[in-house]
Structure formats: structure tokens, C-alpha cells
Amino acid sequence: MNPVEYYRRPRVTEEIAEFLRGRWAAVEGTGKRWVRWLSGRPLRVDRPSDVPALVERLRGIGVRSFYGTIEVFKRLEESRDVEEDYEANVLRATPFIDVDIVDEDRVDDAWRCVVEAAETIYNHLCSSYNLCRSIYMVWSGAGIHVRVNENAFSSKLLEQHHPLDVAFAAAEYVLEQLEPQLLDLIRRCKGMIKIENLVAPKRVFTAPLSLHRRLDRVAVALAPEELGDFSPDWSRPENPHHNPQAWRRYERGEADEYARRALERIGKVRHRTLMEARAAKLSLPVPEPPGGLSLPAAVASAPGSPREPGRFPVMALLQAARYYLLTGNLERAKSWGLNRAIFYAWAKYYGPARRPQLAARAHRYSTRGSTVDEDELRWEEVGGERAQVSPRGWYVIGGVEQRPEDFDRNVARKFEEAGISFEEAWRAALEYLQRFPRSVLRDPQRFYKEVYEPVRDHFVEKVLKKVREKHGALDRWLRRG
């Protein structure tokens, strides 16, 4: 499928433009290259003609997919609208749950499990809370989003609670209630799917009729009552079976009662970027392999060339490897790596001027992880960086421990999903860091600039492949000898 030709179709451009209107847009090109800004302003798609125009203007990245934030904003004119003025500028936010196929090349094996999970979630919301008409599904090509139309919440409710708090609680509450049933489904499906609450600030999701980032499939919307007839063939780009009314229908106020119960149970997340640490992520554990380096959920690495895992996992991995080389403690290295990745993500969101606020205070959170009172915490310095430590020895942000199993779920799994054995990624990271003098590892600024920055978007090319080439050459030399 030629994306340039595909994004000239009137039906496609009209659907994408209408869905993205008011949302901060994003486009993804080949090799996970993203564009979210144009001329220093948030990327917008206001008219159907904007879609092919962007494809042409950004031809250099090979545009594949169109996304929009889960938030609908009041205005999108300048950078401050999504940065300094973010909190007051959010008009509404879309709750969604991601039911994803772990290995995109196994769609034929796993899609029925995805549908069953989506039906389970919808049936619970509809039968238990009468939240029926305002839910829709989007099949992305390798999974389903279960979304609640953002207009199903009344203005009165959103005056009392920030839209992002409403969206997070709405997604988290249903997964908390259905966790036993959904985990049983994941077991029966042999770990081929995972189910997550991905609500977070400025999170983007796929626009209806967008091409998949890698597969020759398109995102199609469908109503819950269509799930029984669904087939992955609906997403073929030649003639997609897309229900344009599915994502448009809603009943104002239908979701209010459910949202109030969810907010009462889940509460408000004080620091926005910690939503990802709190969010439910349902998947299967696996036995610990030899060598003591435990891995996350049972995931078959995608065949073919490995993909870049993303900046957050790379930061966490390199920080963990850095800690391990400095101290020799593997389990605490995992805690440190995740802690620092969350910290730098928070710092990027709020800006350097507000960084001390995160380190200066600890809060209690209702979380699936472990929460710690402030008076139980102590400070510890590693490599020129200070972090709080719990009585159990795990590092803490926002009152929440970052445990080794959290690292496995949030970091190691990302490498597996990108087609990279985490054991191999760990060994490669250690070899890469050992090229640098210990003075660099002990200096946080030099570590960030000299170690992390050069490879944050090129881990596969600049770290993994170089280590593979090195060992491959050694193996060939030994065989010749």
C-alpha cells in the first residue's frame, strides 16, 4: 500500500480530519520517526486537505500513521497551550484500554483473544453501569482499543474533576474489577495478548482509517454489537470495513455515575507522569531464567529485524546498567533504572525549573505497587544523583517504590516486544557502558550527554548491532582457528 496514494482518498481524509480536530496531532514515519510540531507549534489537522498536505510536506520521513492526543484542547495555537497552560487548556479526554497482540506477526493466532477481551470489558460496563451507547472500539491492525466517547461525561462532572483524572480512573477501575477474568483469558491465550490502561498526559492513539505503522492494515472503528461479526479482514486498506458512526455516537452524562465511582475508588494522581507507573498492565509472568536476570511476561520476540524500543526503555536500561557497574547489585539496579527513567520523563514534561519539586516531596498513592510514607524514606546518592529509598531498599518517586518486577514489566518487556532478547540487550548495554571511564558514569550530566543522548533513538544500530558484529567476528575467528 502506497501511503501517498492512500491518504488522497476523500473518505480517508475526511474521517481523519474530523477525528483529529481539537486534538494535538502526530504523524509517524518509517523507523519510528515522529513529528508532533511544525514551526514551533503543536501539529494540527483541521481540514481534510491537511492530511495529504502533511504526507507530502513530511515525505522525508515516509509518513505511515496519523495519531491524536487522548485530550481535546480548547486551543492549539502555540507551544504554551500544551505545556505551561496544559492543565487549564484540556477540554475533554478519552478513556481507553489497549488490548494488544504482543507479536504483531501472530494476528491470525491471537485476534479472537483480543475480541473476547474487548467483549468482556464492554459487557461489564454496560451490564453493571448502564454505560452502553457511548463505547466504541478501534481495531488498529494488531489489537483493539476499547474507548469511551469523551462527550459521554457531563460538563458538570468535568467542572468538578480534571478530564485526565476522569479518563485515568475510568480506564483503571474496570481493569481492577475485571483483573481475575482478564488474566484467566490471557492464560488461556498463552500470553499472546496484553491489556493495559494507557491513559497519560499527551498520550496519542490511532485515528480511524489511519494506516498501521508497520502492517498493511488500517484502523477501523466498530460498535460493540459488531464484535461478534468482526474479522481482521475488515482492516484491509483496499476496502476497509469501517463504521463511521461508531466513534461519533454518545449519550451525554451516560458515563457520569461510572466515573464518580471510579474516581472514588482510584482517586487522583497528583503527578501526571506517574500515571504510567500506577496504571494496570495485565500480562503473564515467566519463570526466572538462568543467571538471575528475571524477564517479563511470556513474549515471543518478533521475527526479523529488531525495532527501536523507545527512549524510556533505553534510559531505564542504561541507568540500570550504570548502577550495576558502579555497585554490582542487580536487583537494586533495576529499581534505580526505572526510578531514573520516570524522573527524567517527569522533568521533561514539567521543565527544568520545576524538577526539584519531584525530588523534594513524597506522596502516598493508591497503587498496585507498594506505597511508602514520607517519614519512612531516606535519601541516597548514586553517581551524583539523589533519590529516595524505602525501608526495603527500593528507590521511590511520588511515594511509590520502583521494584525489580516493575522494571521487568515496564522496561524489559519493551525490548522483548521490539524483537530484542532482554538478556542480549542487558549484555549489550554493559559492554557499551564499559567503553566509558568511570568518571563519566559517576557524572549525571556527562552520562546523559555522552552515553544516553547519542543512542536514545539508535540503540539497535549503535549498541546492539555493534556488539553483535564484534562477537560475530570473534566467533568466526575462533572457528577458523
CATH of the domain at 250: 3.90.920.10
Under 8 Å CB-to-CB from 477, ≥6 apart: which residues? none
The tens place of each residue's pLDDT in the chain, 481 residues long, gives 799 999 999 999 999 999 999 999 999 998 778 899 998 899 999 999 999 999 999 999 999 999 999 999 999 999 999 999 999 999 999 999 999 998 888 999 999 999 999 999 999 999 999 999 999 999 999 999 999 999 999 999 999 999 999 999 999 999 999 999 999 999 999 999 999 999 999 999 999 999 998 889 999 999 999 999 999 999 999 999 999 999 999 999 999 999 999 999 998 876 776 677 678 889 875 444 444 444 443 333 333 468 888 899 999 999 999 999 999 898 899 999 999 999 888 776 555 444 444 433 323 223 444 567 777 889 999 989 999 999 989 999 878 889 988 898 889 888 887 888 888 899 899 999 999 999 999 999 999 999 999 999 999 989 998 888 876 544 444 344 4
Q: How many independent structural domains does the chain possess?
A: 2
Task: Give, for 147, the enclosing helix (H) or strand (E).
Answer: strand 143-148
pTM of the complete model: 0.66
| Strands 395-397 and 385-389, bridge-based pairing | antiparallel
Shared domain check, 392 and 443:
yes
Same-domain check for residues 228 and 319: no
Domain-located, residue 306: no
Residue in 115, 121, 172 with CA at minimum distance from that of residue 139 = 115
> Are 409 and 470 contained in the same domain?
yes
Same domain, residue pair 270 and 323? no
Final residue in a domain of this structure, among 263, 282, 301: 282
Greatest alpha-carbon pair distance for the chain in Å reads: 77
Residue 140: inside a domain:
yes
* Predicted pLDDT at 304: 45
Give the per-residue pLDDT at 20. Answer: 98
Strand order in the sheet with 25-29: 33-35, 25-29, 63-69, 204-206
Same domain, yes or no: 180 and 255: yes
In degrees rounded to 5, what are phi and psi of residue 229?
A: -100, -5
Residue 291 lies in a domain: no
Which grid coordinates are listed for 405? 518486577
Q: Which of 422, 170, 473, 163 is nearest to 306 (CA)?
A: 422
Please, what is the Cα angle at 311 between 172 and 275, to 5 degrees?
20
Q: What is the pLDDT of residue 350?
A: 54
pLDDT, position 364:
27
259, 334: one domain = no
pLDDT for 369:
47
Q: Does residue 458 belong to any structural domain of this protein?
A: yes
Please give the Cα distance from 3 to 21 (Å, whole number).
21
In angstroms, rounded to a whole number, what is the distance separating the alpha carbons of residues 449 and 65? Answer: 31
Q: 238 lies in a domain?
A: yes
C-alpha separations of 361 from 61, 127, 396, 439 in Å = 42, 42, 11, 29
239 and 353 belong to one structural domain: no
Q: What is the pLDDT of residue 370?
A: 58
Q: Evaluate whether residue 305 is within a structural domain.
A: no
Flag whether 289 is in a domain. Answer: no
Same domain, 464 and 329: yes
Judged by DSSP in three states, 213 sits in: coil
Place of cell 542504561: 318
Residue at 297 is within a domain? no
Give the span between the Cα atoms of 337 and 331, in whole angstroms.
Answer: 10
Could you tell me if 217 and 102 lie in one domain? yes
Give the structural domain span for 398.
311-480
One domain, residues 229 and 80: yes
Residue 472's pLDDT is 57
If asked whether residues 67 and 15 sit together in one domain, one would say: yes
